[in-house]
Chain A
Amino acid sequence: MFSAGKPLPGYDPKTGVGGTSDFLTTRLDAMVAWARSNSLWPLPFATACCGIEFMSVVSSHYDLSRFGAEVVRFSPRQADLLIVAGTVTDKMAPVLRKIYLQMPEPKWVISMGVCASSGGFYRAYHVTQGIDEIIPVDVYVPGCPPTPEELMYGILELQRKIRSGELSRDGRSARLAAEKPA
């Protein structure tokens, strides 16, 4: 990764010639990862209460655009970050899976709130006990619902993950995603 801010040898502050203003060196994949991490286009799969807190996050007070992730897209074809905000029921699960499969690679998933992460306090006959039953998840954000700060922290963690070049899915979830649910 290139370093910004610190003058390189050869830079003349009086004339502004040399140093950082001329060139930088980095790896292409690091450059791409940096760009991707700062221009996430989220698809809010807002099913329940967490969706209302997601609205707070994109509204003026918390303003998600500070982190480059405010371009909310409702078409899976145009999004690379799926934010699952709210409870996913067994009736909704096939829909969520289809939307995930429709998103182009590379794609990431944030599970916002305990319902999406584990079913939360709905240990019940119609509630999917965590969306990782059907799709892979990159970042889990706890809370019922998470405060806007928590979700923003989750997005920053995802950015860090993307920049570090980590693979976006662990093997277990990827295998689950490839299979049809029973």
Chain B
Amino acid sequence: MSTVAAPPLSAPAERIRGLLSTTPLSDRVEVRDLDLPTLEVAPSDWPAVARFLRDDPGCRYDLFLDLAGVDNLKRKGQKTRFEAVVHLHSLPKNEHVRVKVLLPDGAPPALPTARDVWPAADWFEREAFDLCGFDFPGHPNLRRILCHDAFVGNALRKDYAPGQRWFATEEDMKMPAWSQETEARAGHFETQTLSIGPSHPATHGIVHLIARIDSERITRAETQIGYLHRCFEKMAETHTWNGVIPYTDRLNYVSAMINGVGYVRTVEKMLGVEIPERGILVRTILSEFSRIMDHCVNIGANLVDIGALTNFWYLYQPRETIYGLLEACCGARLTVSYVRVGGLAIDVPEDFVARCRALLESIPKFLSDVDRLVTNNRIVRNRLQGTGLVSKEQAVAWGLTGPMLRASGVPYDVRRARPYDFYDRFDWDVAVSTEGDNLARYLVRMEEMRQSLSIIRQAIEIFPEKGPVNSSDWHVVLPPKDAVYHDMESLIYHFKLIMEGIRVPRGERYEWIEAANGELGFYAISEGGGGPYRLKVRPPCFPMMAAFEKIIIGGTISDAIATLGTLNVIAGELDR
């Protein structure tokens, strides 16, 4: 590694390089400074680097966020065809880092598993195996996870046609081998295998839980997902930057607005475009309303599962009223497609502030009604208190984020840890509980809704009555329609944007925000074209669902159902 002409590094990257120089890895790991400190390593060094990053007191990258497989087949100037891109977060240092494991050409792409360093890597590695065909020697359960078992090929490789389907029949649906074994142990005649889902009222979206129960207790469990794998990432590669926005709405469709904001923020950072204050505030207000909607449905559905149907109707009412606000803004209720790269699709209606104020007045009533009905209810307490326990260490090791992590006593909220937009200007608290059980997660969500209301209240106070919501950079945002009709230059901008898409400079970026159920990250690679070369979502549900089969061991089936409800797993985002 030459240090002569290397450009100056940012402080975190410089620190990592300094720490590395004391280890035998120093001359084999290249530290670069992109949007995040980026380490480039060879597969053989990956286990040592992984341990260094997790254990070194100067690093402590303890939260495994994401693993993206990248196929550089049509990308210029890359060292190898395949690379595995890992994103990590350090809770003590409050920093992100990226590691690129460059998989040498000429051999089948393979890298050692990092599962024993970060248990959260388990499912992410299976996903890379499934979609990119990477092998992970040492991984004990390397099977397809998203695509069905009759699938042939690796869908996210660049030489795979986006529309190439493979049919699956019932015979192709494989159950895990252990579930087929006969339970012949004497005295345990009540041992049996129970299959819940994929179409089951308590799974909320389609996941498949296979559990071995010994009389009442679950002794082994496995979840199968992928039943809603709609190929988001492949679809993103075939669309323009703005054309991806409707697809992002359908990731976490319960709070669609937040996904769109997370995605366009990534693209805007790559472009370096600034959004007017008013536009940002609209995004913040609607995102926080979406968070409330999301928590309403989550808590409501969870309570339905444990037998408290009334609350669902109570909590659905604020959702309907918030739908009214979204519909007034953009015309759609659920899948809003309201954001655009560089701003919003259209300005908010004139009575936006009045509508928000009306909602701020009506929503607390529903929350306090449910609070009084539920929080101290004996049955609810019996079902939620002490069940679905996740300790602080487990939550971090399993890569959990959002309310799940905060309910286990880790106050990590992206809005506070790395304030984006105007979250540092508002006075609000991060809801944290130390119990780590289902009740804690319920209470954290209830408190987050109140905090969101407070954020919205403050945002409305500083909301400018008039002003633009969009950037005026016409390389990014469509010029006003009136100008398009009357002035040649605007017409050209309009034509170029519609026909070719936004020209995002070559490069890569990982941007992350706090979605309703955790850290939602978008890792985008641009090759300078009108659309993404590769777009990887860091779905907050994915590690939660992976942890589910570990959380429920030792509990009863009814506890498992109550736990599944508090995870807030949305299939659209889980399977993408």
A residues adjacent to B (C-beta < 8 A): 45-49, 51-53, 55-56, 59-61, 74, 86-87, 89-99, 121-127, 129, 144-145, 147, 180-182
17 A-B residue pairings within 8 Å (CB atoms):
A48-B228, A49-B253, A49-B572, A52-B254, A59-B316, A90-B148, A90-B165, A91-B148, A91-B227, A91-B229, A95-B227, A97-B170, A121-B247, A122-B231, A123-B235, A124-B234, A127-B231
- The listed residue (A51, A92, A147) touching B227 by CB distance below 8 A is A92
- Min CB distance A8 to B, Å, is 43
- Min CB distance B336 to A, Å, is 11
The 10 residue pairs across chains A and B that have the minimum distance between CB atoms: A124-B231, A49-B253, A91-B148, A74-B201, A94-B170, A59-B316, A92-B227, A61-B320, A126-B229, A122-B230
CB neighbours of B317 from chain A (8 A): 59-61
- Min CB distance B399 to A, Å, is 24
Is B167 at the interface (CB under 8 A from chain A)?
yes
- Is the beta-carbon distance between B334 and A51 smaller than 8 angstroms? no
- The listed residue (B147, B162, B246, B254) touching A121 by CB distance below 8 A is B246
Give the nearest-CB partner of A94 in chain B.
B170
- Is the beta-carbon distance between B229 and A89 smaller than 8 angstroms? yes
Please report which residues of chain B, range 251-291, place their CB below 8 angstroms from some CB of chain A when the two chains form the complex. 253-254
- Min CB distance A85 to B, Å, is 11
- Is the beta-carbon distance between B316 and A91 smaller than 8 angstroms? no
- Is the beta-carbon distance between B253 and A90 smaller than 8 angstroms? no
Q: Given A47-B206, A91-B229, A95-B199, are A56 and B246 neighbors across the interface (CB < 8 Å)? A: no
- Is the beta-carbon distance between B335 and A126 smaller than 8 angstroms? no
CB neighbours of B163 from chain A (8 A): 123-125
CB neighbours of B164 from chain A (8 A): 125
* Distance of A23 Cα from B164 Cα, bound (Å): 62
Is B313 at the interface (CB under 8 A from chain A)?
yes
CB neighbours of A74 from chain B (8 A): 199-201
* Distance of A180 Cα from B231 Cα, bound (Å): 25
- Min CB distance B98 to A, Å, is 28
- Min CB distance B282 to A, Å, is 23
- Is the beta-carbon distance between B334 and A53 smaller than 8 angstroms? yes
- The listed residue (B167, B230, B312, B335) touching A124 by CB distance below 8 A is B230
Chain B 321-359, CB-CB to A under 8 Å as 1, else 0, gives 001000000000111000000000000000000000000
- Min CB distance B571 to A, Å, is 7
CB neighbours of A97 from chain B (8 A): 170
* Distance of A125 Cα from B231 Cα, bound (Å): 7
- Is the beta-carbon distance between B335 and A93 smaller than 8 angstroms? no
